[in-house]
Chain A
Amino acid sequence: MFKKNVSYYPGCSCSKSGLARYYGSSSLAVLKKIGVNVSEIEDWNCCGSNLYRTIDENKAYLLGARNLAKALEMGLPEILILCPACFLSLKRTLTEVFTNSTLLIEVKKKYSVFGNRTSSIPNVRHIIDFLVNDIGEDVFKKNVEKKLDGLKVAPYYGCQITRPYGLFDDPEFPTSMERIFSWIGANPIDSPLKTKCCGGMLTITNEGEVLPMIKKILESYIRLGAECIVTACPLCHLNLEIAKMKIKRTVKEISNIPIMYFTQLIGLSFNLPFNELGITKEIVEHLNKKIIVTASLRGGKNE
């Protein structure tokens, strides 16, 4: 059986009390089934996100470095991250720490593990990258129990999974999620807007400006015949939900289309319990109507 040990950085959103807790729980369930041994980074803190960096750049990197140091102390330098913003922050922290000598000295002073000759360099990974490039098709497919044949899934990547670094996929037209969908039998919909900006935090402060952008994305997916929209980012997810609420009355088709995390969809095909995935009965009913060929999802483990 496949075995691998990694550390896991949940970040505020995907943690147990965050808005994206089911992105967290479904990812953990999927990884467990594949055989990945995941250890949460002990006493982790804020990633030092772009908001923090806007006020205090140096402190933001020190915050990021504390998390990296904890992973090193646990002897698990390979760090899995779900939230694209956290992923970018920690990746950026790593780059800054090793290219800015003053910062490196400060980090080593604060977190001695960085200066330790025997410790490795942290390896910050996004879960999509990990699933596609480390787990790979063969191992992944061994866990698929129900194929979601024919389900038209619209992947929405948002921005920071691939930008600005473009580490494991094309920065504007990535296809990693589509590869995963093909492994579970779903049909990906190809939208030119899949990495368009969701407005990020601006939905809180500048709703008037960003709502039209998100609406455009949703409407494009509907026109392309999406039966389910899949995200990999807590903020994208929230913003799509907000836009969906706003246009529900005028665009009837949208009201039934579930917006899910891609790991929730994988979880369904792995036949994992609905409560771990955070999937409601309504969603399953809706998907069941759309899946044509293979066994229906009804009878998921906890029913």
Chain B
Amino acid sequence: MNVQITHLINSDKKIHAVVEKCIQCGTCSASCPLNQYMDYTPRQLIALVREGMIDEALKSRTSWLCSTCYLCAVRCPVKINIGDFMTSLKRYAIKNGYSDNLPYSKLTKTYVDLVNKYGRISETKLIITFSLKTNPLKLLKMLPLSAKLLREGILSLSLEKVKNIQEIRT
């Protein structure tokens, strides 16, 4: 399976362009607001993929900590969009079963399921569905904020479905 993924990633044009252009200057790593929590810095992650250490790269938590704030992207001297590179790696990790237990991966799937079902999402529904799947106790912790939002008439469970839902599903 490893060889297959390596091949897949190597033939991905967008990833290929990143690996090809990067001069390993480290600007992205220095700019990243989440760098201190990552096991590999963004620059190192690119180096891993370049060296063909795909398994290592997909196991890393780095891409899962990327918030896609694109600070790296606007500072990169060779105009690489590292945020998008991170999104691609997440996609490969999900597809190949590297991230089944990661909360963020579950959140992503919950989101897509809601969109495929209704055409839209509601934040409240997303958070509740996700928390029930992962950590129901977290819902309790969110009570103070929910109470405030309820008071201000902001919290709502309703979700307007897209009328022509067939267009979304096909």
Contacts and interface: CB of A to CB of B under 8 A. Distances in A.
Interface string A1-36: 000000000001101111101100000000000000
Nearest to A111: B167
A295 interface: no
Interface in B86-103: 87, 90-91, 94, 103
Contacts of B81: 164
Contacts of B74: 163-164, 166, 171-172
A17 B65 contact: no
A172 B70 CA distance: 10
A163 B70 CA distance: 6
A196 B33 contact: yes
Contacts of B47: none
B145 A206 contact: no
A245 B91 contact: no
A286 interface: no
B130 A45 contact: no
Nearest to A172: B74
Interface string B93-116: 010000000011001110110010
A284 to B, nearest CB: 14
Interface in A193-219: 195-197, 199-202, 204-206, 209-210, 213
Given A17-B159, A55-B108, A204-B107, A245 B73 contact: no
Contacts of B65: 202, 206, 209
Contact size range, B: 35 or more
Contacts of B121: 12, 46
B67 A21 contact: no
Nearest to B14: A57
Contacts of A43: 162-164
B93 to A, nearest CB: 10
Interface in A205-235: 205-206, 209-210, 213
Interface residues of A, number: 50
Contact of B69 (A200, A206, A278): A200
B95 to A, nearest CB: 9
Contact of A55 (B33, B109, B164): B109
A159 B70 contact: yes
A53 B127 CA distance: 19
Contacts of A54: 87, 90-91, 94, 108
Contact of B148 (A18, A50, A245): A245
Given A19-B155, A204-B130, A278-B152, 18 more contacts: A12-B121, A12-B123, A16-B160, A19-B123, A21-B154, A54-B91, A54-B94, A55-B108, A66-B167, A160-B69, A164-B83, A172-B71, A197-B33, A200-B68, A202-B67, A206-B103, A210-B34, A245-B148
Interface of A: 12-13, 15-19, 21-22, 43-46, 49-57, 63, 66, 159-160, 163-164, 166, 171-172, 195-197, 199-202, 204-206, 209-210, 213, 238, 241-242, 245, 278, 280
